[in-house]
Structure 1
Amino acid sequence: MAGTREKRAPGFWPLAIVFALFVLFLYGPMLAIFVLSFQGPEGGLTFPMRGWSLHWFRTLWEGIGVIDIGAAFRRSLLLGAVVMALTVVLALLAGLAYRKKLPGGTPLFYAVVASLIMPSIIVSLGIGLLFRLLDGGIKAVLEAWFPSLFETYATALGMFTSGLGAQLTWTLPFGLLIMFAIFNRFNPAYEEAARDLGATPWQRLVHVVLPLIGPSLVGVGMFGFTLSWDEIARSSQAMGDLNTLPLELQGLTTTVTTPVIYALGTVTTVVSFAVMAFTLTVVFLWQGRRKA
């Protein structure tokens, strides 16, 4: 009969309840942090709330003790941007290379993907140890041959050396897997048509391949930034003297006992959502332009 609703399967409601509980478990703590960050000056770390205000955001802006949250925020943004750019470029180059039979490609692929399987803290400890051994070798050479430089040399550990390498072991495998999926669906007929029209390999890449896979590259960039933005375990032993915002946030959880820690969590989450919203907007506009 027209207008009659289709009956639900017997297992629909139990599965719907399980799914609702899963969503509540996944996002409930985040929503609680959002709400508690807007408490009044007398607010605590738990419910019930004590008033509504932006007091803890102002406190965060003024600074938390000896920790410079603003500097850590800027460091994380800069590192995330560098990781994003390198992830996009290296994943794209790897995806293009794997379109043809690459000598040694299989062992190289497994070596890259293996970093996803290894415990993150082990990867961080290994990179930190490697750079400390590198420090020993550099200091020995400088002491023997360049005494003036030896006095000023500190360490090779740093945000854009060991820290960058540690985060790339996390972002590059994801970028590579995404590029494999993209090129597996890519229709080579477009390139063949451009080749028949006399386009050079560079022209085919710039005017055919990149415009077609552009939205996917934007997605790879989003993955690179967001994975770097909230990364802790792989960065914990590899950042050197300067910490990123997630590492500072982890340290604050043991010393800060006011909702200012929730305000900081809200700000970092809003940045992540802003990056995702910007990415989706760019992808939507790109696809619309391509269809037009």
Structure 2
Amino acid sequence: MREGRPAIFYWLALFFAAYVLFLYGPMIAIFVLSFQGPEGGLTFPLNGLSLHWFSDLIAGGGIVDIGGAFRRSLVLGLTVMLATIVISVLAGLAYRKKFFGQTILFYVAVASLIVPSIVTSLGIALEFRFLDDAVKAYGPAWLSEGYTTAMGLFTSGLGAHLTWTLPFGLLIMFAIFNRFDKRLEEAARDLGATPWQTFRHVVGPIILPSLIGIGLFGFTLSWDEIARSSQAIGELNTLPLELKALTTTVTTPEIYALGTLTTGVSFLVITLSLGLFTWLRARRMRHGSNAGSGLV
């Protein structure tokens, strides 16, 4: 006879449902409220159903330049993604061999994970202020004349974001190379492959799914970063900073429309990454089966 489930199962199921509602409920509420009509407010119930606030957002002309902030965040996120992938791969390859100071360098690289984000941002801003003062006081005339600051989107801002994304990329690559079968590289070298050919045709295809994951981490962490950007981004804000500023000035569902668009971009990047990962896995399995059938 079929036995019924114990009571603890239903209590745990209820707890899990409450957890999911607590985790995703606010996001769903913002999605729904962003589709209100022109007379809609910031709370339920809905007042009409339209794309009015999205059209207002795209048209611009509001308190902040949403289009400019969106482009800045997108370009910065893509730059952080590429830099995180390249530096993580190079560091992973370097750590496959022993070298002097590697332990200290590792702890320095991952220390930013435990340092409060606002402290990191303040430290980077302070460093660039020292640099600005040094250039103005001791720099050559052609440089100091009209000089304002070195802080900007792709200087202090890029560095602040990399302090957040690089530790994740490094830890992933270290885990990948720790269990990498070196015999594959040795076989390639025995067949006459150069180091670059070995990486391109052997190592690269194997670690490619992991690189997609690192890129996903890099972009999404940069895309919605606020604390590390707050003091180190320069005079032009990113989209998350503009969104934070709007929370104190905008009293219409336009802010919900902005939140929906930014979240949609994150979901789009995640979907594309998962799709690419699935395609790579299917391609690898297909090639493996073709090679196996060729041996029969």
Q: Distance in 1 between matches of 2:96 and 2:9?
A: 43
Cα distance between partner residues in 2 of 1:195 and 1:235: 45
Q: 1:262 aligns with which of 247, 256, 260?
A: 256
Alignment match, 1:161: 155
One-letter amino acid of the structure 2 residue matched with residue 116 of structure 1: L
What SS does structure 2 have at the residue aligned with 1:159? coil
Structure 1 segment 171-210 matched on structure 2, within 5 A: 171-210=165-204
Residues 1:60 and 2:41 aligned together? no
1:99 aligns with 2:96: yes
Kindly state the Cα deviation for residue 9 of structure 1 after the two structures are TM-superposed. 4.9
TM-score, normalised via structure 2 length: 0.93
Structure 1 segments unaligned to the other structure (5+ residues):
none
Instruction: Give the Cα–Cα distance (whole angstroms) in 2 for the partners of residues 158 and 201 of structure 1.
Output: 38
Other-structure match for 2:237: 243
Cα distance in structure 2, aligned partners of 1:102 and 1:34: 51
* Change beyond 3 A, Cα 1:105–1:53: same
State the Cα deviation string for residues 225-246 of structure 1 (Å, max 9, x = none). Answer: 0000000000000011000000
CA offset at residue 211 of structure 1?
A: 0.5
Partner of 1:72: 69
String of CA shifts for 1:72-121, please: whole Å, max 9, x gaps.
Answer: 00000000010000000000111111112232111111111110001000
What is the total number of aligned residue pairs between the two structures? 286
State the SS of the aligned residue for 1:157. coil
Unaligned runs of 5+ in 2: 287-296
**Aligned partner of 2:32 among 30, 35, 41:** 35
Q: Does residue 89 in structure 1 map to residue 98 in structure 2? A: no
Give the counterpart letter for 1:184 in structure 2.
N
Equivalent residue number for residue 45 of structure 1: 42
Question: What amino acid maps onto 1:225 in structure 2?
Answer: F
Aligned to 2:133: 136
Letter of the structure 1 residue corresponding to residue 122 of structure 2: L
**Does the alignment pair 1:222 with 2:178?**
no
Specify the code of the residue in structure 1 equivalent to 2:23.
L
Q: Percent of pairs identical after alignment? A: 67
User: Of residues 13, 16, 26 in structure 1, which corresponds to 2:13?
Assistant: 16
Q: Which amino acid aligns with 2:234?
A: G
Q: TM-score, normalised by structure 1?
A: 0.95
**Alignment equivalent of 1:109, drawn from 86, 106, 109:** 106
Aligned-pair CA distance for 1:65: 2.2
- Partner SS, residue 79 of structure 1: helix
